[in-house]
Amino acid sequence: MNNFGVPRSLSEALHTTATVRGATHAFYRYPARFSPEFARTFIHKFTDAGDTVLDCFMGGGTSAVEALSTGRRFVGCDLNSLAFFVTLVKTTELSKNDRSLLIDWRSRLASAINLHSGDLPDDERVSQIPWTIRKTLALAVATLPSLPNIRTRNFARCSLLRTSQWALDCKRDIPNKDEFLDKHTLHFSAMLEGAAEFAANYDRSLGSKDEPARRIFNSAAVDLSSTSTLANVRAQLLITSPPYPGVHVLYHRWQVNGRRETAAPYWLANCLDGQPPSYYTMGPRRPETWERYMSEIRSSFCSVKKLLHRNALVVQLVAFSEPNVQYPLYLSAMRDAGYRKVELAELGSTSDSPIIRSVPNRKWYAQSKGAIAASREYVLVHRQR
Ligand SMILES: C[S@@+](CC[C@H](N)C(=O)[O-])C[C@H]1O[C@@H](n2cnc3c(N)ncnc32)[C@H](O)[C@@H]1O
């Protein structure tokens, strides 16, 4: 790493095992997110300040945070409303007044949570949550309207989302109200620090009213290029990570006590839910053929070409449950979409071109079949033909 936290080489960036931290990255642990170092290295090496970075499967917004905090513009989308919410909050600047309002909200929170008052929410999305946390959250959410603007309400919501994820997702021992609030205090101040770090690095002069530096959408990749406000966008780098074929990742649920699934993140983030798991993964996990998945990859990448500069680099991180079958199909879907594969050596990487990265500690593959294959992510680099 150099002094700016940019790995020295592509190889170092690809094999980093550093924990995700810094700026606003830790606001939410989005499943299968890529490391900030990975995004940062490609952004630094292949774009200049003022250029546009695109991510059409942006998930929790790792690439958005890295692009915007290194002087680039960002365009991105995800069809998961939760991903959109998280990316929005991670890349929203807070004013000094917003920060004071939030600190004041936080100082009033504990006294607003009296477990002996009020009703338990009967919303189906939180029915799987043990009642202490359910009621704590309901009373906390009820305080949000006291915040005067959408930025602060979203930030406060996201802080509750973060602590709830810690409290519930894949946890065996669910904390009590006091433990929840203690943890929330820590998360909340770390998030305020993260937001300040993001704002310090964010170049306000890049955006204008008509063309803001950040343009993010809750939409499918295939629809992004028909967004009228993006007609002039020509990104220099597309860096992304589509859903992994056949690999079990739950983008839209938490697992309480390791088993019961809850839609609580949508309730907390006030987002639309109601889609089946296959909606987020381009089809079922074990389909008879991979045609539907490959066809979505083909149409998505074909469509986003309209938003790319002619020489733009297209960098993807993908894991496969059956690499022998899916990897060649994936490459031909990219070819059919109008791209040619670029070897990392062509980009000035060292001769031992690292195209496969082992992923440490991925909770979603540990218990599943095909664990070994799915724990290796392929780095695919393309340009338009
Ligand atoms: C591997 S995750 C991306 C993680 C991201 N790189 C990060 O760092 O958080 C893949 C994302 O693709 C989204 N997705 C699935 N199908 C999509 C589509 N057709 N268009 C846009 N997004 C899609 C999923 O909702 C999921 O958030």
- Report the pLDDT value the prediction gives residue 131, as an integer from 0 to 100: 87
Give the residue whose CA is nearest to atom 12 of ligand 1.
57
Ligand 1 close to Cβ of residue 241 (< 6 A): yes
Question: Is 70 exceeded by the pLDDT of residue 336?
Answer: yes
- How far, in Å, from the CA of 243 to the mean position of ligand 1? 6
- Report the pLDDT value the prediction gives residue 242, as an integer from 0 to 100: 98
Let me know: does 261 contact 43? Beta carbons within 8 Å: no
pLDDT tens for residues 34-54? Answer: 889 889 989 999 999 999 999
Question: Is 50 exceeded by the pLDDT of residue 227?
Answer: yes
- Report the pLDDT value the prediction gives residue 17, as an integer from 0 to 100: 61
Where in the chain are all domains bearing CATH 3.40.50.150?
10-80+206-248+290-384
Ligand 1 close to Cβ of residue 236 (< 6 A): no
Flag the least confident range among 105-109, 123-127, 224-228, 252-256. 123-127
Residue (of 4, 158, 161) closest to 91 by Cα position: 158
- Report the pLDDT value the prediction gives residue 373, as an integer from 0 to 100: 66
Ligand 1 close to Cβ of residue 282 (< 6 A): yes
pLDDT tens for residues 138-189? Answer: 999 999 999 999 999 999 999 999 999 999 998 888 899 999 999 999 999 9
Ligand 1 close to Cβ of residue 30 (< 6 A): yes
List, in sequence order, every beta strand (DSSP E) within 197-263: 214-217, 235-240, 254-256, 260-262
- Report the pLDDT value the prediction gives residue 382, as an integer from 0 to 100: 96
Q: How far apart are CA 351 and CA 312, in angstroms?
A: 23
Long-range contacts of 325-329 (CB under 8 A, 24+ apart): 325/290, 326/245, 326/246, 326/290, 327/378, 329/290, 329/294
Let me know: does 154 contact 88? Beta carbons within 8 Å: yes
- How far, in Å, from the CA of 22 to the mean position of ligand 1? 22
Pick the atom of ligand 1 nearest to 60's CA: 9
Ligand 1 close to Cβ of residue 84 (< 6 A): no
- How far, in Å, from the CA of 101 to the mean position of ligand 1? 33
CATH 3.40.50.150 fits 10-80+206-248+290-384, yes or no: yes
Residue 370: band (very low, low, confident or very high) from pLDDT cuts 50, 70, 90: low
pLDDT (average), residues 283-292:
94
Give the residue whose CA is nearest to atom 20 of ligand 1.
220
pLDDT (average), residues 344-351:
70
Pick the atom of ligand 1 nearest to 242's CA: 10
- How far, in Å, from the CA of 296 to the mean position of ligand 1? 12
- How far, in Å, from the CA of 87 to the mean position of ligand 1? 12
- How far, in Å, from the CA of 248 to the mean position of ligand 1? 14
Flag the least confident range among 82-91, 119-128, 224-233, 362-371. 362-371
Question: Is 90 exceeded by the pLDDT of residue 118?
Answer: no
Residue 3: band (very low, low, confident or very high) from pLDDT cuts 50, 70, 90: very low
- How far, in Å, from the CA of 59 to the mean position of ligand 1? 5
Ligand 1 close to Cβ of residue 70 (< 6 A): no
- How far, in Å, from the CA of 357 to the mean position of ligand 1? 19
- Report the pLDDT value the prediction gives residue 367, as an integer from 0 to 100: 46
The chain-wide mean pLDDT, for the chain, equals: 89
Let me know: does 374 contact 247? Beta carbons within 8 Å: yes
Residue 366: band (very low, low, confident or very high) from pLDDT cuts 50, 70, 90: very low
Burial of 366 (C-beta count, 10 Å sphere; 0-12/13-18/19+) = exposed
Q: How far apart are CA 112 and CA 123, in angstroms?
A: 20
Beta-carbon neighbour count of residue 286 at 10 Å?
Answer: 10
Ligand 1 close to Cβ of residue 221 (< 6 A): yes
Is-above-0.85 flag for pTM? yes
Tell me which range, 314-318, 359-363, 366-370, 374-378, is most confidently predicted by mean pLDDT. Answer: 314-318
Better-scored residue on pLDDT, 354 or 332: 332
> Which of 24, 33, 78 gets mutated to test ligand 1 (max ligand atoms within 8 A of its CB)?
78
pLDDT (average), residues 303-309:
98
- How far, in Å, from the CA of 370 to the mean position of ligand 1? 21
Which residues, including other chains, have CB under 8 Å from residue 122's CB and lie 6 or more apart? Answer: none
Ligand 1 close to Cβ of residue 77 (< 6 A): yes
Distance of CA 172 to the CA centre of its chain: 25
